[in-house]
Amino acid sequence: MPPKKGQTCVYAYPDWCKGCGLCVAFCPTKVFELGPTGKVQVVHEEECINCGFCELHCPDFAIAVLPREEGCAADLHVAQEIRQKMKGYQKG
């Protein structure tokens, strides 16, 4: 069964993005673009298939992909999610 689109909220935390372009290059459904400031922008959130590549490979932990049923989170909540994930990676 093909992966379902539109099940996620995708958030890129601009303060942490260094504009390396990894997520732009490797997201299979082209969810991201680099904006005029050199930071990543989420431009096609509805295309996300929740593959997890961007979260796993962003060197600065600047991306969170969250289940949409929880609602598209406010920035503060998302920042907390990112930090929780960082703690998990650091422990691992």
Site for ligand SF4 in 46-75 (CB under 6 A): 48-54, 58-60, 62-63, 65
Number of residues that bind ligand SF4 (CB under 6 A): 27
Three-class SS state of 71: coil
Distance CA 47, CA 3 (A): 10
Query: Residue 29 interacts with ligand SF4 (CB under 6 A)?
Result: yes
Integer angstrom CA distances of residue 74 from 9, 10, 20, 36, 86:
11, 12, 25, 24, 19
If one asks whether residue 33 binds ligand SF4 (CB under 6 A), the answer comes out as no
The residues that touch ligand SF4, with contacts defined as CB under 6 A, are 10, 12, 17-23, 27-29, 31, 40, 48-54, 58-60, 62-63, 65
